[in-house]
Structure 1
Amino acid sequence: MFVILFLLVMALGCAPEKKQSELNLPVENNECRPWTYWWWMGSAVDKENLSQLLETYNKAGIGGVHVIPIYGVKGDEERFIDYLSPEWMEMLQFTVTEAKRLGMGVDMSCGTGWPFGGPSVSVEDQDARVVIDTFEVEKGVNFINKFEIPLQALMAYSDEGEVVDLTEKVSGDGVINWTAPEGNWELFAVSQRFSRRDVKRAAPGGEGDAVNPFSKRALMNYLPIFDKAFADYQGEMVRCLYHDSFEYGGDWSDDLFDEFEIRRGYDLRKHLPALLGRGADDYVARIKSDYHETKSDLLLENFIKPWVKWSHEKGCITRNQAHGSPGNILDLYAAADIPETEIFGPSGFEIPGLRTNQEFHQIFHNTPPNPLMIKFSSSAAHVAGKKLVSSESCTWLDEHFQVSLSQVKPEIDQLLVSGINHVFYHGMAYSPADAQWPGWLFYASTNFAPSNSFWHHFPELNAYIARCQSVLQSGKSANDVLLYFPIYDVWHNKEGMRLGLQVHNLDKWLFDTPLYNTAKVMWNRGFTFDYISDRQLTDAKVAGKRILMNDSEYPVMVVPDCNKMPVETLENLKELAKNGATIIVLKDLPRDVPGFGDLENRREQFRTTMAELKPVDTDLPGVRQADIGKGRFLIGGNIEEMLSLVNISREPVADAGISFIRRTHKGGYYYFLTNPGKQALDGWVNLGVKAESAKLFDPRSSRSGIADLQVGEAGAPQVYLQLQPGESCILQTFTNKKINGTNWNYLHVAGEPYEIKGEWSVDFIEGAPVLPSGFETEQLCSWTEFGDSTTKNFSGIAKYSITFDKPEQQADDWLLDLGKVCESASISVNGQLLGVLWSFPFRIDIGDVLHEGENTIEIEVTNLSANRIAEVDRRKVPWKKFYDINFVDISYQPFDASGWKPMNSGLIGPVNLIPCSYQK
């Protein structure tokens, strides 16, 4: 049971009184705090600036940095340091030492820019694409040709189905002289060529070709440059080495034919027309499926796993972005110590008042950040028993200089509820003290560096994330359902040679699939789940009736409607059921095996295994059951009905539009809950777990109290929750324990809001390019509408002051609602600093400090840097002087803010006092 009320008539959020005790959150460490990508432009770093910047970051609440050397700044070439040179290694060692002194951590990319590659990569080890040239030859014609590029195969196919291998007939200098026998023939010449993918955004000393990610030889030839560079390294190692998302351009390796035959059991050279899409649709799709699976195997077994092993030998752990690759991203994420996702662009939340850039919204509306994509990385971690799941966070969230902290928070909240617990900002560029504002900047927004005006209140966001992540890094994941990822249905595709599972093309491989539709229903209805791959499933065990995956336990597994499934996977599911597990199959059992090799034998094995499952009708219409051993298969079409049938509880808070994640602690559960929608929650909510008592915690303010708990009609525990749009909280439940302490104060509207009117004094106290003159006004609006051009160009802080009489109405408490704020504000009442409002809702409890009679409020508001950069560009200041891509906007055109109109800045209001009561 829950109640949803609109903004002006509902209770006003989880606002506890000032005297409440602190909730005992898990102890924070530097991994709880947010980290940041840290671009070293030209590797033009020095010890003085490194130390100063790390101290600045640390004071703001940053837990660590990820060093990525990239292109440099024009005019500063004398500062450039070649990658992995002795001087570069000295700077790295100094960075790690300084970070350790400050209690911070350091990661580094295994190369400059991205992807792996550089000057040491040979022609043989380059990222490569397959090239298949065809030649038609009629009967009796003598075909003579010289191939300029070494061939890996030359195959002749007749119109009668005969296949002849001509590879050995090609001379050492690449010449073929062959006379066609009976029939019409087509020759297929296979070679590989450089994909033209070089290291993107490379740093000095790191320029060169990308390495071939399907070749173990290429990897093992690449890594020795790091062995050599670190041979004389005396300091502590970086914590983590990093591999970015799959942005290689290739699809082939020179040993792919051999690897394919070993793994798939047949010679791909005899099926080359299928690679070009020729043949019956099913036949072509089966050959392509085997090709995709082979690339997945090579990427995992010849690249990621050997790199992880090598990193461990160096004393480092690894972070890997698996998305974008043609492989099974669940396996590739899980192979690293820390799987990492990314979010790109705005999500388009419906939080009232949240600023949305319509241009960005249109660009990203097809594939905005999606929690069901994000969950691939967190699922891999949960299933593989990995503690941390990281994220490249807020890339291109909005145009440069236009991102506010209030825009960042809901994106971070969505990451957290999707299972991320190790946030990396994207990001900050190293910028020396002598760099003219805005300093050295990376081209892909968002800029989280000190040059951003929001830095003044940035520590508030960092502290918020640290509190949340301290919870989300503790205990264990508490998801109920394992959801099978039918990768072979993705790979069974007759189109094209490249099939990357990107975050930007979900419409190509995820949307509208049975997997996505099933996951979406479960997400929206409050069921908790993790994806699992075929390979991961081989490690599953059963204890009692629960499926064990390392540290995680799952009461049930769900197989979405699935066409292709390997015999081995079907056998694994059968064994799990025999040992006591429940396997839910949606719609119907899988229909066939994937791939082409040994097809009829595999089909026979599939049919034999399937025959052991003898589903019969149950009393529930449309539901069949196949008992096997200690467990069972349940087959039906309605996922919610099927989960209810096996007593999987959902979390009804999802019905109110609340997103959440749940983890265990020793005495119960932690919930992180956030409201990304346009309606507020105010009411009793059923919990999906047992609870004798519970605490609430506000991660923005650190306040806590004992939550109201009762037993609902069906015997389930109910907790009273209040969440405004944009608001979040942590709930800690205790399964068998009554806790003592101060109760959480639930605030409820007790009358009409009282608008604070009168003359506001506005004084500009800090910022640039110049401090405007102050002014007085009785009508709040953007400060850009007052004064001269100095207010229109100003970026910084203005203090709003007003004196007013406390309303005569009696109330248990008073909330100060600031209305529209551009962009964040600190609040003082009667000389007492109460806090900072930097995200929605922009309201704060001030009842304890209000006096009878006259009161004074001071509100210091910080705006964006947008108006300042527009003035800089109008003066044509030459700050955009970077090599490579230089500095671009979201359309990847040269950035130019000179035509921008002044963006709203300051306190716009209306500012209201809202009387509240503690009674429900």
Structure 2
Amino acid sequence: MPSLDDHRDALAHPPIEFRPELRWWLAEGLHTDATLRSEIETAHRLGFGGMEFLAMDEGDIDHARYGWGSEEWVHDSAIVVTETTARGMSVSFTSGTNWSNANLPTIDPDHPAAAKELNVEVEDLTSGARRHGALPRVDLQAERGASAVPGHRVPPREQRLTAVIAAPLIAGTDDTLAVADVVDLTSEVEGEELDWTAPDARSWRLFVFWSHGTGQTASPSASVNYTVNYLDRDGIDAVMEYWRDVVLTPQLKREIARNPRAQMYMDSLELSTWGAGGMFWGRTVEEEFRTRRGYDIAPWLPFLIRRTGMFAATTAYSYEPDAMHQPEVDKVRFDYVRTLTDLYIENMLRPFSEFLHENGLLLRAEVSYGLPFELTRPAIEVDGIETESLEFASQIDAYRMLAGPAHLFGRQYSSETGATTRNHMLDHRFYDQIIATQLAAGITKTVLHGWASRAGAEGVTTWPGHEGMWPLFSERFDTRQPGSEFYPLWNEAIGRYQYLLRQGRPRIDIGILRTDHFIDNMIGVSAFDSEGNRVADEDAYGRLWMRNRENQWWQDLGMQDAGWSYEFFDGSLLAHPDVSFDGEVVQPDGPGYQALIVYQEALDPDVALLLLEWAGDGLKILLVNGAREVKVQFEGTFTFNERVASRTPGLDGRDSELAATLAALRDLPNVAEAHEPADTVAALRGLGVTGRAEFVEENRNILTYLREDGDLLHVYVYHFLYETGETTEVQLSVPGNGAVFRTDAWSGEIHPHSGASRHDGRTNIELALSPGETALFTVDRSLDGSPSSAVAPALVADLSDWSIVVESWDAGENELIVEDRGLGYETREVLPHTAVTRLTVSSSGLLPWAELGGIGPKVSGVAEYTTHVRVDEFDPISNRYLLELGSTNGGLGSVRINGAAARGFDTSKPVVDASRDLSAGDNEVVIRVSSSLNNRLIARGYYDELPDIALGLVGKEGTHVTRVREHGLVGPVRLVAVPRH
């Protein structure tokens, strides 16, 4: 049975596997060996735990020499694997539609392994007239406008006739078809000719469906790389063959074998179609649909013709049925995307995972992202489940989506963290708040988005350095940042959270069954107000959506305000042999759901039967009517679930069976029904549910996450209203009696917590949190904890007389790096250096830099604040001494007292435990605080011509708009004493 003492060493020095990792944007294969080794050594020195690397377009360089697949890229990849492995860091290859190594130079658009789509040509039939002759073919050379995703299209040469369908239009419409009269004419086609006459005088439309390659490519690469087919087995077979024969050289395989955390990372699936049909396809789709769904898809194809943007959530169908048949068509549409999900699982993820395991690689993936695939079902096929802050805007409800399968199947839940459209602009606190939100959802692996070398190609690289992910997207967490000086302290702190919150098993109160093939995973890319004005990322993240008490999918906040935890998953996952119900909770060795909620109108009848079986064994189930959930947040569209489980999702003819199953469920005493989501908590309490870390009184500011580690309960607490909230007091009630300890994430020290009591076999934890503050508690139920009251700190001294020096960062000289590997050419890089100028402030008060004399609004960098404090009655045995910094304006930094080791601090509640470093009498205090590069880059005109990508995504034009930020320590700074137990 683990004890708290077992964790002390790891909390003091978090092992490397718990540290944040990095997404590294390489300048294709251009970086010199010296640069690669230096970057990896630097990342390791700064405390990062691993690197996920990929090739980014470096502009006008020789892609044949440096692109993916070239000798230079293979050589560089081997160096990255070798150097990270030597330092105990993880290493990840990056795969995904827009990264060339997910695609192949060995195929073309017509190859069976290439991505395919189903296109359509439409012909109007004149009333009563006979049509004869050749069917209209797709003009494969035609332009259809720019794709919503990067890359260019190479037209295929071949197209294959798939189906010919005729349907009459409803009178007075141009897009509504009479379902009952649809005619499948495919069997009447001879060669590619059709002789047919419409049977009546209505307006008829002929739909001629052709399958062909999408022609989607990815760059940069040494040659043209085509996107592979994610539905037919041909796609992944070709990928595995290429990696086996070309990429995984004996040397690379040896290096991979030395790294237990070597991975393949599959990024978002930004596949696109080109034609008017808009359907993803493959040579097996039609037959697989018939086998799995029990009917032919061909007659329904006109109702599947679609238009979509970058991601499937914006899908709009070109043709609708008559009103009588709308439910039937909705079921067919569901069956189509369910079949695509099946094929993605069985023909892509499963064999790819097996292949990677055979070659010493784990598979981490953003499953289903972007495509019409169910979000949670594929998650079981991967070793690590990844989400992304960019697409989900740091929304707890969005992170709960993939938390369900992650916790059900014990998968590592991680996130690409830090991608926004505001690079170099925001204070470090903004990114700390993203991580804090993710921890509350059980995301315990942070992959920062991202890292780039400052060195890059000649002619395109200027200060502050090689952009990597373009100057439009994502923050950089590398040495161009003034805050990088403090990354070792920060990485240790995040490592402590991630270490403790991976221990034991998650304890989640409620599981919510939810199925969605069109998840809106673009809520974070851009925000606009009611008048169409761009809302800056920092304002959207900090003030809108969840920070304005608006969740997206489970919109009632009653459970959250009660302190209950919950998450989502597709109900079919309950039938997996690895999932069980023990008579009390679902998946006892996993999340341990005390009850399940069903709220959507559609419920799979087999899932309903399983629920009935488990409910007969005691499972608590709540049926909720009238729940609204977001469809596309940007468009302001929602789905309203009027009557829970009132139909099956697919065209299976089992609606009456489902109704009978639900009737039987409703008759059970441990099944309740709520007429609206607002009744959820009361209904669950009526079933006997008590939250495992519930609030004694409702609290609208706090999120929690709980892990059970034997007798230990690790409780994470977060005040998520970081821009709009005030200090909040809360009492958490956890099961069992025990002693309460609080871990200081910035030092690793563990202290007894003042403010604990017992009530009815539970332990109450009382605390106050400032906006944005986090706390980490452990309740040791093996110890007999004594009740204690919270103790107010006593003021020892105010620190107000400061000596201030600001180290101002600006562009320095460029260094030319030349490499000759004896291949007949030189590789040349430019490394922009930073010039640092020390500016002494004449005044001694704490103000933002823009208001300090001699500093002003054009300065970015690091400021050092020095003062002395006298402690006459110093009693470290009886008291802890805390140095409260007040505010650093969100800047990362450190505190050094009397020359001792530097200590880091939380950017929302900057407090340092000074007990070990102080002494009686006079003490020197040195505080260093960093800024972003925002103010200096404004002064340099960096943003003047920089397009705002968020505007571009909605068809608008404009440059980035930022403002001078208030950087630096502003206090008030004071030293307080807190009595020890």
Same fold (TM over 0.5): yes
1:214, 1:303 within 8 Å by CA — same for their partners in 2? yes
Report the CA distance shift for 1:79/1:824 in structure 2 as closer, same or farther (over 3 A).
farther
Moved more, 525-534 or 552-561: 552-561
Moved more, 58-67 or 129-138: 129-138
* Alignment of 1:603 onto 2:655: yes
Give the Å deviation of 1:580: 3.7
Give the Å deviation of 1:748: 1.8
Partner of 2:390: 344
Partner of 2:362: 317
Deviations 1:651-703 (A, max 9, x none): 234726222111111222111222223333456x2422113223210112222
Matches within 5 A, 1:271-350: 271-275=300-304, 276-280=319-323, 281-322=326-367, 323-344=369-390
2:116, 2:282 within 8 Å by CA — same for their partners in 1? no
Q: Provide the C-alpha distance between the structure 2 equivalents of 1:148 and 1:647, rounded to a whole number of angstroms.
A: 64
Partner of 1:357: none
Moved more, 274-283 or 569-578: 274-283
Report the CA distance shift for 1:305/1:839 in structure 2 as closer, same or farther (over 3 A).
same
Partner of 2:241: 224
Report the CA distance shift for 1:667/1:183 in structure 2 as closer, same or farther (over 3 A).
same
Give the Å deviation of 1:415: 0.6
1:686, 1:718 within 8 Å by CA — same for their partners in 2? yes
Partner of 2:690: 649
Q: Provide the C-alpha distance between the structure 2 equivalents of 1:470 and 1:809, rounded to a whole number of angstroms.
A: 34
Partner of 2:743: 697
* Alignment of 1:51 onto 2:51: no
SS of 1:94's equivalent in the other structure is helix
Give the Å deviation of 1:264: 1.5
For 1:641, the aligned partner's letter is A
What is the aligned counterpart of 1:377 among 384, 391, 402?
402
Q: Provide the C-alpha distance between the structure 2 equivalents of 1:368 and 1:737, rounded to a whole number of angstroms.
A: 41
* Alignment of 1:117 onto 2:103: yes
Give the Å deviation of 1:842: 2.5
SS of 1:450's equivalent in the other structure is coil
Give the Å deviation of 1:155: 1.9
Q: Provide the C-alpha distance between the structure 1 equivalents of 2:566 and 2:964, rounded to a whole number of angstroms.
A: 46
* Alignment of 1:437 onto 2:499: no
Q: Provide the C-alpha distance between the structure 1 equivalents of 2:701 and 2:907, rounded to a whole number of angstroms.
A: 19
Partner of 2:196: 178
1:558, 1:586 within 8 Å by CA — same for their partners in 2? no
Matches within 5 A, 1:430-579: 430-432=453-455, 437-441=463-467, 442-443=469-470, 444-485=473-514, 487=515, 499-504=518-523, 516-517=553-554, 520-539=557-576, 542=580, 544-549=582-587, 551-552=589-590, 554=592, 556-579=594-617
For 2:863, the aligned partner's letter is A
Which segments of 5 or more consecutive residues in structure 2 lack a partner in the other structure? Answer: 1-6, 139-159, 170-177, 274-278, 305-318, 528-544, 627-642, 811-833
Q: Provide the C-alpha distance between the structure 1 equivalents of 2:590 and 2:746, rounded to a whole number of angstroms.
A: 30
For 2:389, the aligned partner's letter is I
SS of 1:552's equivalent in the other structure is coil
For 2:803, the aligned partner's letter is W
Partner of 2:840: 774
Q: Provide the C-alpha distance between the structure 2 equivalents of 1:219 and 1:158, rounded to a whole number of angstroms.
A: 40
Partner of 1:241: 264
Q: Provide the C-alpha distance between the structure 1 equivalents of 2:870 and 2:947, rounded to a whole number of angstroms.
A: 51
1:761, 1:774 within 8 Å by CA — same for their partners in 2? yes
Give the Å deviation of 1:394: 1.4
Q: Provide the C-alpha distance between the structure 1 equivalents of 2:903 and 2:168, rounded to a whole number of angstroms.
A: 79
For 2:255, the aligned partner's letter is E
* Alignment of 1:844 onto 2:912: yes
Q: Provide the C-alpha distance between the structure 2 equivalents of 1:27 and 1:804, rounded to a whole number of angstroms.
A: 30
Partner of 1:407: 430
Q: Provide the C-alpha distance between the structure 2 equivalents of 1:384 and 1:804, rounded to a whole number of angstroms.
A: 53
Report the CA distance shift for 1:792/1:136 in structure 2 as closer, same or farther (over 3 A).
same
Which segments of 5 or more consecutive residues in structure 1 lack a partner in the other structure? Answer: 1-20, 346-366, 492-498, 616-625, 881-885
Give the Å deviation of 1:80: 4.8
2:715, 2:777 within 8 Å by CA — same for their partners in 1? yes
* Alignment of 1:71 onto 2:57: yes
Moved more, 807-816 or 704-713: 807-816
Greater relative CO, 1 or 2 (CA 8 Å, sep 6+): 1
What is the aligned counterpart of 1:107 among 73, 92, 95?
92
Q: Provide the C-alpha distance between the structure 1 equivalents of 2:21 and 2:916, rounded to a whole number of angstroms.
A: 36
* Alignment of 1:582 onto 2:620: yes
Partner of 2:66: 81
Moved more, 245-254 or 841-850: 841-850
Query: What TM-score do the two structures reach when normalised by structure 1?
Result: 0.81
Partner of 1:3: none
Partner of 2:803: 760
For 1:655, the aligned partner's letter is N
What is the aligned counterpart of 2:136 among 147, 150, 175?
147
Matches within 5 A, 1:27-42: 28-42=14-28
Give the Å deviation of 1:567: 1.6
For 1:439, the aligned partner's letter is G
2:509, 2:593 within 8 Å by CA — same for their partners in 1? yes
For 2:348, the aligned partner's letter is F
Report the CA distance shift for 1:603/1:771 in structure 2 as closer, same or farther (over 3 A).
closer
Matches within 5 A, 1:627-642: 632-637=670-675, 638-642=679-683
2:120, 2:207 within 8 Å by CA — same for their partners in 1? no
Matches within 5 A, 1:667-682: 667-677=711-721, 678-682=725-729
Count of aligned positions: 830
Report the CA distance shift for 1:646/1:553 in structure 2 as closer, same or farther (over 3 A).
farther
What is the aligned counterpart of 2:47 among 61, 82, 96?
61
1:35, 1:63 within 8 Å by CA — same for their partners in 2? yes
Give the Å deviation of 1:639: 1.9
Give the Å deviation of 1:483: 1.8
Give the Å deviation of 1:568: 0.9
Give the Å deviation of 1:110: 2.8
1:482, 1:557 within 8 Å by CA — same for their partners in 2? yes
Q: Percent identity?
A: 19
Give the Å deviation of 1:321: 0.7
Q: Provide the C-alpha distance between the structure 2 equivalents of 1:457 and 1:270, rounded to a whole number of angstroms.
A: 63
Report the CA distance shift for 1:598/1:548 in structure 2 as closer, same or farther (over 3 A).
closer
1:829, 1:857 within 8 Å by CA — same for their partners in 2? yes
Report the CA distance shift for 1:842/1:747 in structure 2 as closer, same or farther (over 3 A).
farther
Moved more, 223-232 or 587-596: 587-596
For 2:38, the aligned partner's letter is Q
2:454, 2:464 within 8 Å by CA — same for their partners in 1? no
Q: Provide the C-alpha distance between the structure 2 equivalents of 1:273 and 1:433, rounded to a whole number of angstroms.
A: 50
1:43, 1:83 within 8 Å by CA — same for their partners in 2? yes
Partner of 1:417: 440
1:389, 1:421 within 8 Å by CA — same for their partners in 2? yes
Q: Provide the C-alpha distance between the structure 1 equivalents of 2:371 and 2:69, rounded to a whole number of angstroms.
A: 28
Deviations 1:845-901 (A, max 9, x none): 44666667655433233222223334444799xxx9xxxxx986654599988x976
Cα RMSD between the aligned structures?
A: 3.9
1:673, 1:728 within 8 Å by CA — same for their partners in 2? yes
Report the CA distance shift for 1:543/1:800 in structure 2 as closer, same or farther (over 3 A).
closer
Report the CA distance shift for 1:833/1:303 in structure 2 as closer, same or farther (over 3 A).
closer
Moved more, 54-63 or 469-478: 469-478
Report the CA distance shift for 1:181/1:779 in structure 2 as closer, same or farther (over 3 A).
closer
Deviations 1:490-535 (A, max 9, x none): 56xxxxxxx354242899xx99999933774323321123323132
Q: Provide the C-alpha distance between the structure 2 equivalents of 1:670 and 1:67, rounded to a whole number of angstroms.
A: 33
1:83, 1:205 within 8 Å by CA — same for their partners in 2? yes
